[in-house]
Amino acid sequence: MDKVSIAIDGPAGAGKSTIAKKIAEAKKILYIDTGAMYRAITLKLLNNNVSLKNNEVILETLESTGIEFKEGSIYLDGINVDQEIRRPEINKNVSEVAAIPCVRKVLVNIQRKIAENNSVIMDGRDIGTRVLPFAKYKFFLTASVDERAKRRYIELKKNGYEQSYEEVAEEISKRDKMDTERKLDPLRKAEDAILVDTTGKTIDEVIDTIIEKIDTI
């Protein structure tokens, strides 16, 4: 059978990963969180004290780094980094790392290879526009900044990170701006993506909306 791709893009806190994970389970396809890959590279660069201006060392680091997904977890050089990549310090730096051309080139290639070999639901910022422009199904999830910041604040608190709501909201707005304004593959809705505003909607309501559209799988 041909491989099917579903692209889910949108800003931080729109609910992409929660929803994509559940749809992957329901449809028995692979879920790939591309943001986790950018986060993992950010973690490695920070751990190794690599300057984000030093392209040569960044490229060397990329070449010697292993990023893998196994049973829903992400492994950086063989170590599970599910928790570590959600640290506030990573939130603060990831958009700068994601704007570096060689980082995008390497990660986009890995993402495309995964989709060539598997039916996938992939979430990120540029899946419908750049990584999988021919995806059969494309969705763009949004929600108000206030609601997205509230969701992220609750999530961080649950994981033991103490950040004020204001700090979280500011960080999310900053990241939205960087992701939308960057030159290379900025965050934007693909022309053929279906827009889903998740403000005030439960996870199940959003999942139902999406499942309805992809019922042919």
Structure tokens at 124: 């990120």
Q: Which stretch binds ligand CDP (CB under 6 A): 34-42, 54-62, 63-71, 133-141?
A: 34-42
147 binds ligand CDP (CB under 6 A): no
126 binds ligand CDP (CB under 6 A): yes
Is the C-alpha dihedral spanning 98, 100, 104, 107 positive or negative? negative
Q: Is 165 exposed, middle or buried (0-12, 13-18, 19+ CB in 10 A)?
A: middle
Q: Which of 81, 175, 207, 210 binds ligand CDP (CB under 6 A)?
A: 175
Size of the site for ligand CDP (CB under 6 A): 17
Structure tokens at 179: 């992701």
Structure tokens at 147: 């609601």
Shortest reach from residue 137's CB to ligand CDP, in Å: 17
The nearer residue to ligand CDP, 44 or 125, going by C-beta atoms, is 125
The one-letter code for the residue type at 68 is E
Q: Is 18 exposed, middle or buried (0-12, 13-18, 19+ CB in 10 A)?
A: middle
39 binds ligand CDP (CB under 6 A): yes
Shortest reach from residue 156's CB to ligand CDP, in Å: 10
128 binds ligand CDP (CB under 6 A): no
The one-letter code for the residue type at 101 is P
Residue with tokens 């890959």: 37
171 binds ligand CDP (CB under 6 A): no
124 binds ligand CDP (CB under 6 A): yes
137 binds ligand CDP (CB under 6 A): no
Q: Which of 38, 137, 139, 153 binds ligand CDP (CB under 6 A)?
A: 38
Q: For residue 195, what are the β-bridge partners?
A: 140
Is the C-alpha dihedral spanning 46, 52, 55, 57 positive or negative? negative
Within 84-123, the residues that bind ligand CDP by CB under 6 A are 94-95, 98
The SS3 of residue 105 is: helix
Interface with ligand CDP (CB under 6 A) = 12-13, 17, 34-36, 38-39, 94-95, 98, 124-127, 175, 179
